[in-house]
Structure formats: C-alpha cells, structure tokens
Amino acid sequence: MSQAAAAIQPVAIPRGTVLFRPDDACAGFVVVSAGTIKVSLTAENGREIVLYRVRPGEICLQTFGCLINHGAYSAEGIAETDLVLEIIPAGEFQRRVTVEPEFRQRLFSAVAARFADLERLVEDVALSSIEERLARALLRLAEGGVMVDATHEALATEIGSARAVVSRQLGAFARDGLVAVERGHIALVDPEGLKHLAHPAE
C-alpha cells in the first residue's frame, strides 16, 4: 500500500454542503461510503436539471472526467444527505488505475453504468411528455414508499422543467386521484396509476 493510500481517511460531510461548483478544480476521486450526492447542471437560461445521484458503490462521472482530462467541474455537486466519503488524491487515483486491475475494472464498470444513466436522462427529456417524466420522478423519489418530500421547484429541477409546469401537472394528478399535494410533501395515492403513466408502453 502506498503512503497516500494509507493516509486516506473517511470524512463526514453534513447535508446541504456544496462539494463542487462549475469551474472548480478536482481535489481527488470521491468514494461514497454512506449518503447521497446530487449532481445537477444549470443552463444559461437559469433552468436546472438533476444529472444523477452518487450513492455507495457508484461514481461521480464529473469527478472521473476531471481527473482523466485534467480539467475542471462543469456541474454542481451537493450533499443531498449527510455523507461519509473518502477522497483519493489525484496521484493515488492514477496509480490505482495503472497498477491495480481490480480497481480499474470496478471503475470502468461503474463508468459504463453511469453513462447508461445519462443516456436514459437524455431520452427522458427529449422523448417523454411532462406527464410521464413527473410520474417517473415521483415514483423514483418515493423509493418504494408513498410519500415524496419535495417542493414543486425541486421536482422541476428533477425533470428539467419549470415550476409552473410542474404545479399544473401535479394539480392534474391530484384531480385524477393519483396524488395528494401538501406543503412540501406529495402523497402517492395511486402508485399503480402513476406507474401506468410513467411507462405507457408497458
């Protein structure tokens, strides 16, 4: 084990901490042990969209790209929950990629999975209706339950739309008996109905 590897220690990060912003330099490769990082991109018109989340066992594609290309971040990463993570310095990361086949294989497999996530995001935004996208987002954020703790603005960021559009669609869902909208919360009254909207071809 190298001295750099021996010196790496877990770090606790509180919820809400901004981990990186566009044009920031990359401090090292992030390994999440507990919690979730939300990575989002803001367009010139101010509209924001969630690109992906980083959970234990997953990688941040932004960080990977910065380290490989020796560039800067182009998106923002925020601790969506309290985090425990390790930061592998750039030199140690390069060493592991070069001399540790197991690390390299895990890394490349995770990169491939992350690219698949981004492909689904592009397809979602380009080819799906607001109704479908919002239904999918509600089901995803409920994580198998029936309650989503999110504002209309947060949902708009989730699907790359405008707050007013999300509010109108939530109102339509409520009138159809699919959800019940409360302040800061959305209850999924009819999850099966939402699943039908989310995947109409299935």
pLDDT, greater one: 12 or 114 = 12
24 and 89 share one domain: yes
**pLDDT at position 123, please?**
75
110 and 149 share one domain: no
10 and 83 share one domain: yes
78 and 164 share one domain: no
87 and 12 share one domain: yes
118 and 58 share one domain: yes
120 and 137 share one domain: no
pLDDT, greater one: 191 or 43 = 191
**Residue 44: is its pLDDT beyond 80?**
no
Average pLDDT over residues 112-132: 80
**pLDDT at position 42, please?**
83
Please give the full DSSP string across 89-158, using - where no structure is assigned: EHHHHHHHHHH-HHHHHHHHHHHHHHHHHHHHHHHHHHHS-HHHHHHHHHHHHHTTSSEE---HHHHHHH
Distance CA 196, CA 98 (A): 47
12, with CB counted inside 10 A (0-12, 13-18, 19+), is: exposed
The CATH number that applies at residue 115 is: 2.60.120.10
Q: What domain range is 76 assigned to? A: 3-126
Give 67-103 pLDDT, tens digit per residue: 988 889 999 999 999 999 999 998 899 999 999 999 9
What is the band of 5 on the pLDDT scale with cuts at 50, 70, 90?
A: low
Among residues 108, 126, 144, the one where a domain terminates is 126
117 and 149 share one domain: no
**pLDDT at position 119, please?**
78
Average pLDDT over residues 9-20: 94
Among residues 94, 126, 158, the one where a domain terminates is 126
What is the band of 159 on the pLDDT scale with cuts at 50, 70, 90?
A: confident
Among residues 110, 126, 142, the one where a domain terminates is 126
Which strand (E) or helix (H) includes residue 183?
Answer: none
- Residue linked to tokens 């690390």: 103
Residue type, 116: A
